[in-house]
Amino acid sequence: MSAPNAAITLALSKGRIFDETLPLLKAAGIEVTEDPSTSRKLILPTTRPDVRVVLVRATDVPTYVQQGGADLGVAGLDVLLEHGAEWGNGSAGLYQPLDLRIARCRMSVAARADFDYASAVRQGSRIRVATKYVSIARDHFADKGVHVDLIKLYGSMELAPLTGLADAIVDLVSTGSTLKANKLVEVEPIMPISSRLIVNQAALKLKREPIRGLIQAFESAIPQE
Ligand code: ATP
Ligand code: MG
Q: How many domains does the chain have?
A: 2
H-run or E-run covering 144: helix 134-144
What is the bridge-based pairing of β-strands 8-12 and 72-76? Answer: parallel
Residues 199 and 181 in one domain: no
Phi, psi for 40 (deg, rounded to 5)? -100, 5
pLDDT, one tens digit per residue, over 120-173 is 999 999 999 999 999 999 999 999 999 999 999 999 999 999 999 999 999 999
pLDDT band (50, 70, 90) for residue 86:
confident
Kindly provide the residue ranges of all beta strands, DSSP E only, lying in the chain, ordered along the sequence: 8-12, 43-45, 51-55, 72-76, 94-99, 105-112, 127-131, 148-152, 168-173, 184-193, 195-200
Task: Summarize the confidence of residues 25-39 as an average pLDDT.
Answer: 91
Answer whether residue 93 is part of any domain.
yes
Q: Going by CA atoms, what residue is nearest to atom 5 of ligand 1? A: 58
Question: What's the rounded Cα separation, in Å, for the pair 25 and 65?
Answer: 18
Do 188 and 198 sit in the same domain of this protein? no
CA 16–ligand 1 middle distance (angstroms): 7
Share of the chain above pLDDT 70, in %: 96
Angle CA 164–165–168, to nearest 5 = 85
Can you say whether the dihedral through the CA atoms of 52, 55, 61, 63 is positive or negative? negative
Ligand located closest to 15 CA: 1
Is there a single domain that holds both residue 96 and residue 118?
no
Rounded to the nearest angstrom, the distance between the alpha carbon of 74 and the centre of ligand 1 is 12
**Taking Cα atoms as reference points, which of 80, 20, 19, 12 lies closest to residue 51?**
12
**Same domain, residue pair 127 and 185:** yes
Assign residue 22 the CATH number of its domain: 3.40.190.10
Span from the CA of 212 to the centroid of ligand 2 (angstroms): 31
Task: Please report whether residue 2 resides in a domain.
Answer: no
- Which of 115, 113, 105, 80 lies closest to 16, judged by CA? 105
Q: In this model, does residue 87 exceed pLDDT 90?
A: no
pTM: predicted TM-score of the whole model, two decimal places: 0.94
Residue ranges making up the domain that contains 152: 105-192
Tell me what pLDDT residue 89 has. 64
